[in-house]
Amino acid sequence: MKHFIRLLVFAISFTLSAQESLPTTEIKTLDGTTTSLQEISKQNDLIVVSLWATWCVPCKNELDAINELYTDWQDETNVKVYAISIDDSRTVSRVKPLVNGKAWDFDILLDTNNDLKRELGAATVPLTLIIKNGKIVYRHSGYTPGSEDSLFEEIKKHS
Amino acid sequence: MKKITVLIVLILPMLSFSQETDTKDNTIFKQFLDNLSGSLETNGQWYTNDAVLGDFEDPLPEFDLRNEHIRVNSYLRLDYSFLENFTVGLQAESYEPLPLINYYPEYNDTRIATYYANFRNKKLDITAGYFYEQFGSGLLLRAFEERQLGLNTALRGGRIKYTPTDFLDITALYGQQRVAFDVSESDIFGFDTNFDFTKAFEIKGLNRLSLGLSYVGKKEDFTPPVNEFDPENEFDITDFPEMINSYSARVDVDFGNFYINTEYALKGEDVTFIPPALPGDGILEGKYFDGNALIFTAGFSKRGLGISNTFRRMENMTFTAERNAKDISSTEFQFNMQNLNYLPTLTKQQDYSLANIYIYNTQPGLFLQNFGGQAGEIGNSLDVFYNFKKGSKLGGKYGTKFTMNFAYWALLDAEFNQTESTYNAEFLKFGNRLNRDINFEIRKKLNKNWSSIFTYINTIVDKGVALGGNLGTDGDIKSQIVIADVTHKLGSGKSVRLEGQHLWTKEDKKNWAGATLEFVASSKLAFYVTDIYNYGNEIKEDQNHYYNVGGSFTKGATRVALNYGRQRGGLLCVGGVCRFVPENTGLTLNINTSF
């Protein structure tokens, strides 16, 4: 118990200075090309990243909700959304048909052995990030109905 | 090691606080913090005695004696990057005063569990220390972490990844597998390469054509067992497989709408174990068997439609860091520890609680002497995703999303000669059925504020798989489940979700009903209450409610969740790895944060 309290105090003291720089961890596109969060953010000033999985109901709810608004978001802010699947080899073959079946318009990336998930310290999915000029400026875990609106408010702040 | 941990934990926060008081002289320190990132996950539970389900009991007798009702598992990860290309890091883990129930008992202390140093530039990626890795789909090697199940199969050693061009990569590694706070007494060697033809030869009209080749070797010394009843009898070690060489090849082709992914693996000869009930020294003498696996996925997808079919055949594919972990009477086997490869169950992974009662578990192993013998698994899983367009008859105003999954898994058809300890398995013949699963899901947004998900599941699971025992001979559990999940937005971030579930079965514990009510107060704060009720149980005293109430608070990178209630016993499976969990009642606290 003592250890636990020490750990807690320790971690909380660090949250005062949250991580800003981007992981260079390798992730793959659907056609097998290797890239990383850092590289993606070099190509775009403002991106939204959502860590999701085919078996995660709230993740799919979030991405369905964003997909409906995506065209409007892009018209207004030039934001680009990347949906990074953490499906491992149990379910990764469902990613491509699911994305097409749902007619999502995002760029899809794969983190099959969860290296990026570990590096971002995401204990649960969905995890949503806003990345502006290579820095994480907003972070939220979990999805609740309607939180896509507050996400867009945040996006507008940074656009 | 323990002292070091404590020291670090004590000093660093002080430094961090001191930074607050000093605003100008802190450039070095600020830089240090900018380059430091990490996360903390803490899962604590207070197990309480339950008037209905009984007093709290740890399934491990030695832990039960200590009578610890409050237990906390914590994971602290720190990464520090410097000089552009370098990163060092560690993960400290704490299981105090004992691990949560159903964790591998050696997770029982506070220590630095993993550490590493990494150099990475465009072409080279070199790691010393602990690392995670996966070759192909993981048929031969996957080093990964799954905290919920207490699995961490990181390798301790070294790894070099070399990517000279964008169409070729090469990985070579050596390591010993992490086993709780220790490492395996075996050496693992690996080599993997991927070649992308589309990029190398700029093939037009093909999105992808790539070839991958892997090698995994495992070396473990062997001390022959002494026969208790006949000490004179020496174990014949001629041809004993101390070194196991395994190979795999894979091809991925993507024509745009149509794609194929396939992988074949050949695992070198390894031992089999004689079940404890039969006479013998444990390891079967003089008979060693190789294994193989074939996985073939074909898919078609275009906007609005996705179809994917996966066929997989596995024969004697259990591959463990130490051979003893293959013995079903070992603690390591029971806790799914020491797997080198990853052979997940390929049925659809369900989120809802009643859909997780009768589930299938993959059967990759060879058990020559157990029951009638079993050599592996063969089967198929088909997924269809379809979007009824907005404005169409079934699509309505917002479109309707439809998902279907069909899965069929069976034992490999094989003939066993148990007196000779041999077997012969057919290549493409299905043996006794273990699982058949058909399920549908329809997602429909009704109007601006109402949306719904309907799920129907019709499953047949072999009794041996669901409840334990002989496979494919003791009959099935047939069940049907209907789930309705409706969300109502109340505006300004508030919403209510109601979920109703029902399971029908004539077998085992019979019918169940369940409901969940969730209230979201804002994107930060949510509460829920849920119950599943085994009202159909023929034993009146066992018609239990498994209720839970809880809430969660999320802010930025921090999430805190609190829950009180009863957990249903049964098989706990995440990502195809399963373990039996007894019923328990208590208060759970989860804290995650990252920085």
| pLDDT tens digits for range B264-299 | 999 999 999 988 777 777 899 899 999 999 999 999
Which pairs with CB-CB distance under 8 Å and at least 24 residues apart come from B258-261?
Answer: B258/B298, B258/B299, B258/B300, B259/A96, B259/B207, B259/B208, B259/B298, B259/B299, B259/B300, B259/B301, B260/B296, B260/B297, B260/B298, B260/B299, B261/A93, B261/B137, B261/B295, B261/B296, B261/B297
Q: Do B592 and A88 touch (CB under 8 A)?
A: no
List B residues 256-285 in contact with A (Cβ-Cβ < 8 A): 259, 261
Could you tell me if B36 lies within 8 Å of chain A, comparing CB atoms? yes
A44 burial level (CB within 10 Å; 0-12, 13-18, 19+): middle
B133 with A31: Cβ contact below 8 A: no
A141, A150, A153, A154: best mutation site toward chain B, by most B Cβ within 10 Å?
A141
pLDDT tens across B511-564, in order? 999 999 999 999 899 999 999 999 999 999 999 999 999 999 999 889 999 999
Cα nearest neighbour of B443 on chain A? A61
**Contact across the interface for B520 and A144, Cβ inside 8 Å:** yes
Q: Inform me whether the pLDDT recorded for B24 exceeds 90.
A: no
Domain that holds residue B332: 122-340
Domain count, chain B: 1
Q: What is the rounded distance in angstroms from the CA atom of residue B12 to the CA atom of residue B9?
A: 6
Residue of B nearest to A116 (CA): B132
Q: Domain boundaries in chain A?
A: 19-158
Tell me what pLDDT residue B5 has. 52
Look at residue B292 and tell me if it is in a domain: yes
Interface with A, mutate which of B349, B380, B392, B525 (most A CBs under 10 A): B349
Q: Determine, yes or no, domain membership for B587.
A: no
Mean pLDDT computed over A16-37: 81
* B592 close contact with A: CB closer than 8 A: yes
Sign of the Cα pseudo-torsion (B327, B332, B338, B343, in order):
positive
* Residue A159 pLDDT > 60: yes
- Compute how many other C-beta atoms are within 10 angstroms of the C-beta atom of residue B277: 8
Q: In this complex, which of A13, A15, A119 lies closest to B558 when CB atoms are compared?
A: A15
Q: Which residue of B has its CA nearest to A135?
A: B34
Q: Is beta strand B289-302 parallel, antiparallel or unpaired with respect to B133-134?
A: unpaired
B415/chain A closest Cα distance in angstroms: 29
Average pLDDT of chain B to the nearest whole number: 90
In a domain, B529, yes or no: no
**Averaged pLDDT for residues B38-52:** 94
At the second CATH level, the architecture of A19-158 is 3-Layer(aba) Sandwich (3.40)
pLDDT at residue number B14: 43
Return the higher-pLDDT residue of A74 and B569: A74
Q: Locate tokens 């999985």: which residue?
A: A53
Decide if B331 is inside a domain: yes
Chain A residue at shortest CA distance from B13: A10
pLDDT at B569: 76
- The residue written with tokens 């993960």 in the block is B91
Q: Write the single-letter amino acid at A22.
A: L
Q: For the residues A134-141, what does the mean pLDDT come to? A: 90
- CA A122 and chain centroid, separation: 10
Nearest to A150 by CA among B54, B107, B518, B556: B556
ipTM of the complex: 0.88
pLDDT at B98 > cutoff 70: yes
Tell me, what's the pLDDT at B328? 83
